[in-house]
Chains A and B, each alone.
Chain A
Amino acid sequence: MEVGWLWGYRWLLAAVLALASSAAAWAQPADLGQTVALNGTAAGVAACIACHGMKGEGDAIGGFPRIAGLDSDYIEAQLVAYASGQRQSSLMELPAKLLAPAERSAVAAYFSQLQSYSPDRAIVIDESAQPSDAGAWLATRGRWSQNLPACAQCHGATGLGVGATFPPLTGQPASYLALQLHHWKDGSRPAGPMGLMHLVAGKLSDRDITAVAAYYGGPNALIQQPLPGARK
């Protein structure tokens, strides 16, 4: 009789078990994120690593940004902006739309915990910058005659960024950085918090953009040994 009573609820039991196992899978976003990153999704999203590199390190030649080590909330916000069309990209619009919200946050979490940059790509704090070196000067000192702060005043002395709002510049391909500055300048990328990046980019000439992008992303910005205290 007792067994028979339990047997009567066997479907409910199965349902509870199924729910529990799916909850367990949901509670491990890194696994889902890794799957999306490495294999893409059944809905038709290609593997992220196909363009962004095996470890999310980006691709200087293709101009694909480094996404490894970026703040998780920042990555997720970009995916949401691509999906809504607020941030425009012919490459990113479709995959961002096809990702479910849970997949977006999972893949953002996955890339955020990867190594942010290899130690031989640390930027030097250049204390001997001269105004004639437009890239280094804009990056470290700005151009206050135009009320233009230095990049480092928000993105940090080593260009490694702050939290979810100020992403790292160091180690991003110069081509990617330059393109973003042009997009902010012409308004095709949302201006960001308080409209700051549209304001800043609007004060940069094409030549300034090339120079400052090269400072953070170009071969001249790289040194062979890590800075003391550089993040591993």
Chain B
Amino acid sequence: MNRFFSNASCVGLLFIAALARTGTAHAQANAVPASLPKDAAYVLKSPDESAIPDGGYGKSVKEGEQIFLHTQQHAGAFVGNNLNCASCHLDAGRKANASPFGAAYVAYPAYRSKNGHVNTFAERLQGCFRYSMNGKVPPLGDPVLVSLESYAAWLSKGAPVGGKISGSGYPKVPKPALPADYLRGSQVYAQTCALCHGATGHGQLSDGKMVFPALWGNQSFNWGAGMHSVDNAAGFIKANMPLALGNTLTDQQAWDVAMFMDSHERPQDPRFTGSVAQTRLKYHDSEYSMYGRTVQGHMLGSQP
């Protein structure tokens, strides 16, 4: 049942045998920095801020940028937590390996297994509000979606439509030598994350506004968000955290702390069927989802 994650107590002889078998492969994989561009991938260089054109389109681009940076202030009706788009998409959606917004724009329309049909870019944005922002879905054509789409399109200038873009999404971090572990993750958290996100993971405010986003709890993303999946979180953390110190954690530390972060309660998955077990089966049947698993004696998803 639990193929990937393990409590410290589960680490035994079996595991050591597995380590011996795959040790060489891991050593090689770890030697390649997660941020290296893939072969033949296009390096997106979004236009300079000063290049935002005058006129109606430029105005929409600028509005989209401000929504992206200050989401609560500019799109508050659709936001249910205190995160901003730029909390995860760093540098206002420009940073490679922090799911750059311009690279995402040219990847749609795309089929998504998450909802089983082809999604337009606007529908993909709706998903961000529903899950990552734990909010309400802006209707198609709403100025919030139009402005965000304008901003994404402007950032994508020059990118090949449907082509491979260097640093798109979050990097895939090679599976670590040891299965991701809650206790080790809690130590990484205390040493490298708590300074900013707080000992309780609830983030910190300055002058009443979020500075350091909540990583779990009711002001964070909900159980349906991509970041709840430990592989995504490990990729984001490895490449970008701590802020200004990206790529300083080992792969093992990134997996451990991602697993620790995603092993805390957060707002319920909006697709909740009424039963955690059934919701897990339907939407979280993944080795990377902690939803419905029991950690530290608590079944995650049962008390969001």
Contacts and interface: CB of A to CB of B under 8 A. Distances in A.
B266 interface: no
B94 A162 contact: no
Interface string B181-212: 00000000000100110000000111111011
B206 A194 contact: no
A154 B196 contact: yes
A163 B244 contact: no
Interface stretch (A38-46, A81-89, A125-133): A125-133
Interface in A136-166: 141-142, 144, 147-149, 152-158, 160-163, 165-166
B207 A200 contact: no
Given A131-B48, A132-B50, A231 B207 contact: yes
B37 interface: no
A196 interface: yes
Interface on chain A toward B: helix, strand, loop, or mixed SS?
loop
A147 B244 contact: yes
Given A155-B206, A160-B207, A144 B95 contact: yes
B195 A193 contact: yes
Contacts of A141: 91-92
Nearest to B52: A130
B90 A162 contact: no
A4 interface: no
Interface in B200-252: 204-209, 211-212, 242-246
Interface residues of B, number: 27
Given A141-B91, A156-B209, A162-B204, A199 B244 contact: yes
Given A156-B207, A157-B206, A194 B50 contact: no
Nearest to B66: A127
Contacts of A149: 243-244
B92 A158 contact: no
A229 interface: yes
B49 interface: yes
A165 B211 CA distance: 13
Contacts of A160: 206-207
A149 B87 CA distance: 12
Contacts of B212: 154, 162
B211 A199 contact: no
A152 B211 CA distance: 8
Interface of B: 48-50, 66, 69-70, 90-92, 94-95, 192, 195-196, 204-209, 211-212, 242-246
7 contacts: A130-B49, A153-B243, A158-B209, A194-B242, A199-B244, A200-B244, A231-B207
